[in-house]
Amino acid sequence: MSKTVITYGTFDMFHIGHLNLIKRLHQLGGKLIVAVSTDEFNAQKGKRTLIPYQQRYEIVEALKYVDLVIPEVSWEQKVEDIVRYEVDIFAIGDDWTGKFDFLQSHCEVQYLARTQGISSSELKLALGRLVEGHGKGVPSDLDILDGLRRSLP
């Protein structure tokens, strides 16, 4: 029997960890719904994204594993979405373990292990370090990348 799976996330600076999670979510059921946090909702959570909502939406929507993308506009919408889309499984990264157990009266709840060594937060920190080091007379990763790009045909 085919199951409907739903997840929520910001999906900023889309990376292999996001892709791994979405592949695994797809394998849990026949239909995958991904709710992408809007810029306004992220602001309410005190988060800033580098990639605007519409672009993050389009990136996630283009993935062959994803059947439907919806906006995440509030914490409270999860129960409504589960009912509206007849969701069988709510799944999310294990950094949220326990936080959504209250949804168990509506559907199965699963927390999936994250890809080790990668996160949007870590990428943003690394990007900040790259930018800080750029132009201080010491070859930074950005300088090296610039050199590599110039050497390409």
Tell me the helices (H) and strands (E) count for the chain, helix number first.
6, 5
| pTM score | 0.79
Task: Look at the domain 4-117 and name its fold.
Answer: Rossmann fold (3.40.50)
pLDDT tens figures, 48-103 = 888 899 999 999 999 999 999 999 999 999 999 999 999 999 999 998 999 999 99
115 three-class SS: coil
| Ranges for all domains in the chain classified under CATH 3.40.50.620 | 4-117
The DSSP letter of residue 38 is P
Question: Quick one: the chain helix, strand, coil %, rounded to 5?
Answer: 45, 20, 35
pLDDT of residue 138: 47
In 29-92, which ranges are continuous DSSP H helix? 39-44, 53-61, 77-84
Backbone angles phi, psi at 91, to 5 degrees: -140, 145
Query: Which residues are marked as active site?
Result: 45, 47
